[in-house]
């Protein structure tokens, strides 16, 4: 049970601080800008990796858990438990962010948002649905492939959290102006729930895209590391 509690806490923190950085700073053109928001997500992963990594592996992302499962790294039972915990954590993190915003005299959920992902009118660059789906598949493929490769080698254990956090940062730098960067269905569902029906209508892209990208990453990982695994 500790693993699932850890995944809940980790995903809650990632959503609260990552999405929160975007929401309270004014978004892409705000105080933090793309780099600041990207580092907020990356540093949240680094912090949680060293806080809960020894307990659950710090997936805090259903796409990562799916990739690990397909690569043979966890059971179906743990996959289900992890994914449920992560989605609940994402919803809790978004709920806390919503409370923070509505208690502020200057922040407004309707205008500042909750860091929800989107395409079309909800995208800074106006990317369409197909482009958003492709973007999420590509970004998640890169991210999950790095995760699987890094954690496959015990000598990387001390630096794994830092490497994964920086990888999440660089995929956010590219993806934020396009879709807000999901690569994580749990991080996307929570803010969409509290943002309204229009965001909920689009959230499927940010669930399907990351899961497809993770599945492709697991296949590529097994092909690339087949010899190493056998050895």
**Burial environment of residue 226 by CB neighbours within 10 A (0 to 12, 13 to 18, 19 or more):** exposed
Return d(Cα 108, Cα 119) in angstroms, integer: 21
* pLDDT tens per residue, range 9-56: 999 999 999 999 999 998 899 999 999 999 999 999 999 999 999 999
Does residue 106 surpass a pLDDT of 50?
yes
Note the pTM of the prediction, 2 decimals: 0.93
Going 136 to 138 to 141 to 142, the CA torsion angle's sign is negative
What does R_g of the chain's alpha carbons equal in angstroms? Answer: 17
Q: Which of 89, 97, 95, 96 is nearest to 184 (CA)?
A: 89
- The answer to whether the beta carbons of residues 85 and 170 sit under 8 Å apart is no
Average pLDDT, integer, range 95-118? 90
Q: Residue 230: what pLDDT?
A: 44
Q: Residue 228: what pLDDT?
A: 57
Beta strands in 113-211 (DSSP E): none
Average pLDDT, integer, range 221-229? 78
Return d(Cα 69, Cα 64) in angstroms, integer: 9
Query: What CATH class has 2-230?
Result: mainly alpha
Domain ranges of the chain: 2-230
């Amino acid at each position: 049970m500790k693993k699932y509690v850890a995944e809940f806490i980790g995903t809650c923190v990632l959503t609260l601080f990552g999405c929160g950085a975007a929401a309270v700073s004014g978004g892409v053109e705000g105080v933090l800008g793309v780099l600041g928001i990207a580092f907020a997500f990356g540093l949240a992963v680094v912090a949680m990796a060293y806080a809960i990594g020894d307990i659950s592996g710090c997936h805090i992302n259903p796409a990562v858990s799916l990739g690990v499962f397909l690569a043979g790294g966890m059971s179906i039972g743990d996959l289900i438990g992890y994914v449920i915990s992560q989605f609940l954590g994402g919803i809790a993190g978004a709920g806390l962010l919503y409370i923070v915003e509505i208690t502020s005299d200057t922040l407004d959920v309707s205008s500042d948002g909750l860091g929800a992902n989107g395409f079309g009118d909800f995208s800074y660059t106006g990317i369409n649905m197909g482009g958003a789906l492709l973007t999420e598949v590509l970004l998640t493929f890169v991210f999950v492939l790095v995760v699987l490769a890094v954690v496959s080698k015990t000598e990387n254990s001390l630096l794994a959290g830092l490497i994964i956090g920086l990888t999440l940062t660089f995929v956010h730098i590219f993806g934020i102006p396009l879709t807000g960067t999901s690569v994580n269905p749990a991080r996307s569902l929570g803010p969409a729930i509290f943002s309204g029906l229009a965001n909920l209508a689009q959230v499927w892209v940010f669930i399907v895209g990351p899961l497809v990208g993770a599945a492709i990453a697991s296949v590529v990982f097994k092909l690339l590391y087949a010899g190493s695994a056998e050895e």
